[in-house]
A and B are shown apart, each in its own frame.
Chain A
């Protein structure tokens, strides 16, 4: 019997797991995918929002602002890159300028610090590539950028080091309520647990509805994105949002923490919760809208496009509570944007709920810090050469676009939550994330996976399941 099972190893589930790892409890995180960070958490804008957007007094607003404030320490503790690059909400219609003041006021009410309304001249001086039509902007210096893979993986690794177990490829098919505990029916057998946390993203309604009569509906809202080459990464320095209007929230343009430029998302409600396919209409729409607030976008520099699914709940609010008609079952549902930004605070909130319910006690030896995969490019020449002398794998570049060494890939395959697929390696090291999109490094990475993990190349997948890279040997 487990004390707590967290369903879903996205950024929410992993943040919850890390917070729970402070306490004396037997915690298991399960996910239907082969790795952490395989759903909504892997395909989003990668922004740590300032918090002016959410409705005043909402849980969303509260957790967004708090999560944002927690990021500096968290990034330091978990050894992940995080940068407060600032955000601009750009107004391009003079008659809509009062809307900026509304956003400003909402931000102040939500507790967002350092907000400022800028004139046309001020904002163009700050961002010369903004549209010539810009009339003014709301400036939010506390907005930041982060790598969602890094954040989720780091949270999970830190939880794992502190005793939380992770089990992948495990899909919950039903939940049976027993006296004082639950039985999770999964494709990998039954799991008994006293408490359940539902952090299942777009499937949070399905999981919730297995135990509750008060039905929940989560709509998958697709967002298409384009990622541009690093040569375009300096096109803007801040995250550029169009002013939200009756036409919708609009398309942002932002540098990423790794120096690329991201453009997106669209917002298309879909039936199929697996439908992460981009569409031509979506991409065309994206390119058209992005050009409204930023000029001369170098769209020829696109290196990949992708789509993510937001877990949209009708009330557009986070639902984080013990389910009324299912005691010991905690929902963490409707976690759409600003879910990534809020994740540190979501983790804390869910853990606090469980702490109170379960009377959890602190561990004596909780490890708050985690060391990331060593990035040799951050070392001095002397340090780097010392490293290569000790471990020559750090002198062998495998991914030429992102300059990822064999040493980093080997590290990724032996972490507390190890990579097992090409995408797993990619999310941990950036091998294959660059402009050639893994054309060069994938055969080389496959060789390393085979050698280090003993997985035959025919069995190596892109991202688990049936996503095998090769189908067999050539003729003898």
Chain B
């Protein structure tokens, strides 16, 4: 069985950054396994711009952003296999994968970085009643059809869900000559970035109906129409608010789910809130030497943060291989309460921290003129005002190692949203 020092599952933005980072830490025996025909992951179908503002201080398209990382991986001479599906990962870090050339093969990895990304929630998961005709697509599938294959999914479109891909596709399909009639969002707020609402809906006069959902789907063969209705504050449709739309296409942009079947089978502990692995300050999962980064860990809003996170995961995987990642000290749990839904990482060993640790999280509702607070035990040590916080955008707090080390009897760290 072949042995690899750092094996990276997935050649998207997370995998590419993790690989480059591990290489720069002096690890040569690295292998990226990618299931698609090329490196770059989902960025390859994101042909709109707006990527890389943080990382490169310029606006790139998805393929351009991916291209910069691909170039680096190629320049660093990192090995990768395309068209290769990872079938299984064991807790002992034996990875089974398959492709056309090598067949099915096993690799013993010293460390693994999970970079499988996420998938879209489907209609079935929502249990939308009605017929099951052609013409119902997840927004990402439609994006692939339009941007990669050159086909139009339809001409008269309704979009359910205001996730970023749905918003981007509202604009994309409009530019391709389709009529996007409405975007319905179940929640009283959008799931996407503010800038996407402005640039993709408002600029094209596409209405966004908050607190609305699809309650019926018509058309036996191809979609013929849908009905949307307003929902009450428990998410139940309000009778009498139904509106019918004639359409041949319904796009769903109703959430992303980290793709963790492999992690689960390996026995990695999962966080029920993020649907991603529970990780520590090194982005290491419950299996020593198995790290996670990017959308497989928690769904990100900006790819820049994916790259940043994966750079760290790759470096820590390299340290693990070199025996430089210290063993566990005392574990401090980070509690996310009062509006903060989760944190990544969820627990930290202060001794293993770098000088500064960025803790990322999302809020569970829209908060205006509120504060992000950090408590060490019962003492508030950070209190930062934000004008608006929304579930569609990630938030962060910075923890400093020296402050935590000097804190007597530190038991818990709490991140919460406070009105005052």
List chain A positions with a Cβ less than 8 A from chain B: 226-227, 231, 274, 276-280, 282-283, 302-306, 381, 384-385, 388-389, 392-393, 395-397, 400, 403, 435-437, 439-440, 442-443, 446-447, 457-458, 461-475
* Complex partner residue of B248 from A397, A442, A471, CB under 8 angstroms: A471
Measured in the bound complex, the distance between the Cα atoms of B133 and A475 in whole Å is 25
Measured in the bound complex, the distance between the Cα atoms of B100 and A226 in whole Å is 36
Q: Using Cβ atoms and an 8 Å threshold, which residues of chain B touch A463?
A: 134, 221
**How many B residues have CB within 8 A of the partner chain?**
51
Which of A231, A389, A436 counts the most chain B CB atoms within 10 A? Answer: A436
Cβ contact within 8 Å between B222 and A468:
yes
Measured in the bound complex, the distance between the Cα atoms of B141 and A305 in whole Å is 20
Cβ contact within 8 Å between A396 and B129:
no
Cβ contact within 8 Å between B221 and A474:
no
Which of B144-152, B332-340, B404-412 lies at the interface with chain A? B144-152
> Is B370 interfacial (CB-CB < 8 Å)?
no
Cβ contact within 8 Å between B122 and A304:
yes
- Expressed in whole angstroms, the minimum distance between the Cβ of A203 and any Cβ of chain B is 15
Cβ contact within 8 Å between A470 and B123:
no
Cβ contact within 8 Å between B124 and A439:
no
Measured in the bound complex, the distance between the Cα atoms of B150 and A396 in whole Å is 23
Cβ contact within 8 Å between B152 and A473:
yes
Cβ contact within 8 Å between A305 and B140:
no
List chain B positions with a Cβ less than 8 A from chain A: 35, 83, 85, 87, 98-104, 119-120, 122-125, 127, 129-134, 137-138, 140-141, 144-146, 148-155, 176-177, 215-218, 220-222, 237, 248, 264
Measured in the bound complex, the distance between the Cα atoms of B134 and A464 in whole Å is 10
* Complex partner residue of B99 from A227, A396, A466, CB under 8 angstroms: A396
Measured in the bound complex, the distance between the Cα atoms of B23 and A340 in whole Å is 59
Q: Which chain B residue lies CB-closest to A392?
A: B100
Measured in the bound complex, the distance between the Cα atoms of B141 and A385 in whole Å is 31
Cβ contact within 8 Å between A439 and B119:
yes
Q: Using Cβ atoms and an 8 Å threshold, which residues of chain A touch B222?
A: 466-468
- Given A443-B144, A473-B150, A474-B152, A403 and B127 touching (CB < 8 A)? no
Query: 4 new A-B pairs (CB below 8 Å) besides A302-B124, A395-B102, A474-B152?
Result: A397-B98, A439-B122, A440-B141, A472-B152
- Expressed in whole angstroms, the minimum distance between the Cβ of B110 and any Cβ of chain A is 23
- Expressed in whole angstroms, the minimum distance between the Cβ of A379 and any Cβ of chain B is 9
Q: Which chain B residue lies CB-closest to A299?
A: B127
Cβ contact within 8 Å between A439 and B85:
no
Q: Using Cβ atoms and an 8 Å threshold, which residues of chain A touch B150?
A: 473-474
Cβ contact within 8 Å between A470 and B101:
no
* Complex partner residue of B104 from A303, A395, A473, CB under 8 angstroms: A395
Measured in the bound complex, the distance between the Cα atoms of B257 and A439 in whole Å is 13
Cβ contact within 8 Å between B119 and A440:
yes
- Expressed in whole angstroms, the minimum distance between the Cβ of B236 and any Cβ of chain A is 10
Q: Using Cβ atoms and an 8 Å threshold, which residues of chain A touch B149?
A: 443, 446-447, 457
- Expressed in whole angstroms, the minimum distance between the Cβ of A308 and any Cβ of chain B is 12
Cβ contact within 8 Å between A462 and B133:
yes
Cβ contact within 8 Å between B151 and A303:
no
Measured in the bound complex, the distance between the Cα atoms of B83 and A400 in whole Å is 12
Cβ contact within 8 Å between B104 and A381:
yes
Q: Using Cβ atoms and an 8 Å threshold, which residues of chain A touch B100?
A: 388, 392-393, 395-396
- Given A388-B104, A439-B120, A466-B222, A395 and B98 touching (CB < 8 A)? yes
Q: Using Cβ atoms and an 8 Å threshold, which residues of chain A touch B153?
A: 469-471
Q: Using Cβ atoms and an 8 Å threshold, which residues of chain B touch A467?
A: 133-134, 221-222
- Given A400-B35, A443-B145, A276 and B221 touching (CB < 8 A)? no
Cβ contact within 8 Å between A392 and B133:
no
27 A-B residue pairs with Cβ-Cβ distance under 8 Å, sorted by A, are A276-B132, A302-B124, A302-B125, A303-B122, A395-B102, A395-B103, A403-B85, A403-B87, A435-B122, A436-B120, A437-B124, A439-B140, A440-B141, A443-B141, A443-B149, A457-B149, A465-B221, A468-B134, A468-B222, A469-B134, A471-B153, A471-B154, A471-B155, A473-B151, A473-B152, A475-B176, A475-B177
Q: Using Cβ atoms and an 8 Å threshold, which residues of chain B touch A381?
A: 104
Q: Which chain A residue lies CB-closest to B217?
A: A277
Cβ contact within 8 Å between A304 and B152:
no
Q: Using Cβ atoms and an 8 Å threshold, which residues of chain B touch A226?
A: 127
Measured in the bound complex, the distance between the Cα atoms of B145 and A458 in whole Å is 11
Q: Using Cβ atoms and an 8 Å threshold, which residues of chain A touch B141?
A: 439-440, 442-443
Measured in the bound complex, the distance between the Cα atoms of B119 and A436 in whole Å is 7
Measured in the bound complex, the distance between the Cα atoms of B242 and A315 in whole Å is 40
- Expressed in whole angstroms, the minimum distance between the Cβ of A319 and any Cβ of chain B is 27
Q: Using Cβ atoms and an 8 Å threshold, which residues of chain A touch B124?
A: 227, 302-305, 437
Q: Using Cβ atoms and an 8 Å threshold, which residues of chain A touch B132?
A: 276, 306
Measured in the bound complex, the distance between the Cα atoms of B132 and A98 in whole Å is 42
Measured in the bound complex, the distance between the Cα atoms of B99 and A384 in whole Å is 12
A-B pairs with lowest CB-CB distance, top 4: A304-B124, A392-B100, A385-B103, A462-B134
Q: Using Cβ atoms and an 8 Å threshold, which residues of chain B touch A436?
A: 119-120, 122, 138
Q: Using Cβ atoms and an 8 Å threshold, which residues of chain A touch B120?
A: 436, 439
Measured in the bound complex, the distance between the Cα atoms of B116 and A440 in whole Å is 14
